[in-house]
């Protein structure tokens, strides 16, 4: 970190589904590892929506089943359009819930996948109105964050230019940042809130955010994360990988999910490497 640059503060917000398998991943993976290690140094919060009604549970299941279907996917898209006026009617309010670990920021809107963009808008509005941090980092329950490495990265980022950064995906219409890790500064966040009625909710939330910011002249910045899918891959990581990476994506594809086991193994390797090389984790 450049000692001549001022410290730019960040709040880390974890999208919390409040159901399995994500609740177990959070409790057994994130909480005893990087959250426990850094929660006294940086503000870390969960953010979630309101409990789903039976109707929205059925609709979510329908989305999951048909989204890849050529025929039913088109039907789903047309059906979704009926709800757009409801989604853009206002900016959802938020409420801070005190828990036994870190705070939950409850966004006062549905927890349905279809409302995920609306929850992001509510979170970004909370970020602007309820604290004075310069950066917001949005992540998810399958991620391990090395805050000290993130702190080094943001110390070199501008506060007088737009920052929309993370793992960049290229698509025909432009590019967007993967929803597993989105870094925004206050300038970019203000664009989202000022243009919230233009948020394209018909798209996945991370693609939609990228489309909105792209149309308003906000470029992407690449901050690559590292996927670690098995405990075996943890043991194969080089020292250079461990020292340079700030975000490890620990999403596994086994049944049941083993994300929490991968996180704990990775956490132990980071501590060991830190002890041996004076690398701070």
Per-residue pLDDT tens over the stretch 132-190? 899 999 999 999 999 999 999 999 998 899 999 999 998 887 899 999 999 999 999 99
Q: Secondary structure of 31-56 in the HEC alphabet? A: HHHHHHHHCCCCEEEEEEEECCCHHH
In a domain, 75, yes or no: yes
Query: Could you tell me which of 179, 213, 13 has the C-alpha nearest to residue 104?
Result: 13
Q: Report the DSSP pairing between strands 164-171 and 174-185.
A: antiparallel
In a domain, 260, yes or no: yes
In a domain, 58, yes or no: yes
Q: What was the pLDDT predicted at 80?
A: 83
Reported as a single tens digit per residue, the pLDDT across 194-250 is 999 999 998 889 999 999 999 999 999 999 899 999 999 999 999 889 989 999 999
Q: Domain containing 70 — which CATH number?
A: 3.90.550.50
Q: What is the DSSP string of 125-151?
A: HHHHHH---SEEEEEETTEEE-HHHHH
Residues paired with 11 in a beta bridge: 43, 136
Residue given tokens 């890790």 in the structure block: 181
The number of domains in the chain is 1
Mean pLDDT of the chain: 91
Residue numbers of the domain that contains 243: 10-277
Q: What was the pLDDT predicted at 1?
A: 38
In a domain, 5, yes or no: no
- For the entire predicted model, the pTM comes to 0.92
Reported as a single tens digit per residue, the pLDDT across 98-116 is 877 899 999 999 998 889 9
| Cα(248)–Cα(75) distance, integer angstroms | 36
In the structure, what pLDDT confidence band is assigned to residue 260 with cuts at 50, 70 and 90? very high
Q: Which two tokens stand for residue 147?
A: 């805050």
In a domain, 143, yes or no: yes
Residues paired with 105 in a beta bridge: 47, 96
| Cα(153)–Cα(240) distance, integer angstroms | 16
């Amino acid at each position: 970190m450049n000692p001549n640059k001022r410290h730019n503060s960040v709040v880390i917000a974890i999208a919390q589904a409040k159901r399995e398998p994500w609740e177990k991943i959070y409790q057994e993976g994130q909480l005893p590892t990087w959250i426990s290690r850094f929660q006294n140094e940086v503000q870390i919060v969960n953010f979630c929506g309101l409990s789903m009604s039976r109707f929205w549970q059925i609709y979510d299941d329908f989305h999951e089943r048909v989204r890849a279907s050529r025929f039913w996917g088109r039907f789903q898209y047309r059906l979704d359009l009926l709800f757009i006026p409801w989604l853009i009617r206002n900016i959802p309010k938020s409420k801070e819930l005190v828990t036994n670990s870190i705070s939950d920021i409850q966004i006062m809107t549905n927890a349905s996948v279809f409302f995920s963009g609306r929850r992001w808008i509510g979170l970004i509005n909370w970020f602007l109105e309820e604290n004075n941090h310069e950066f917001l980092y949005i992540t998810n329950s399958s991620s391990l964050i090395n805050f000290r490495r993130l702190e080094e990265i943001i110390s070199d980022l501008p506060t007088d230019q737009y920052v929309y950064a993370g793992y960049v995906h290229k698509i025909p219409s432009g590019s967007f940042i993967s929803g597993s890790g989105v870094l925004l500064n206050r300038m970019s966040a203000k664009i989202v809130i000022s243009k919230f009625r233009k948020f394209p909710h018909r798209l996945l939330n991370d693609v939609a955010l990228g489309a909105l910011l792209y149309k308003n002249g906000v470029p992407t910045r690449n901050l690559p994360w590292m996927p670690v899918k098995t405990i075996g891959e943890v043991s194969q990581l080089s020292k250079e990988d461990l020292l340079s990476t700030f975000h490890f994506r620990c999403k596994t594809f086994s049944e049941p999910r083993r994300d929490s086991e991968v996180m704990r193994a990775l956490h132990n390797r980071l501590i060991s490497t830190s002890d041996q090389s004076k690398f701070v984790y």
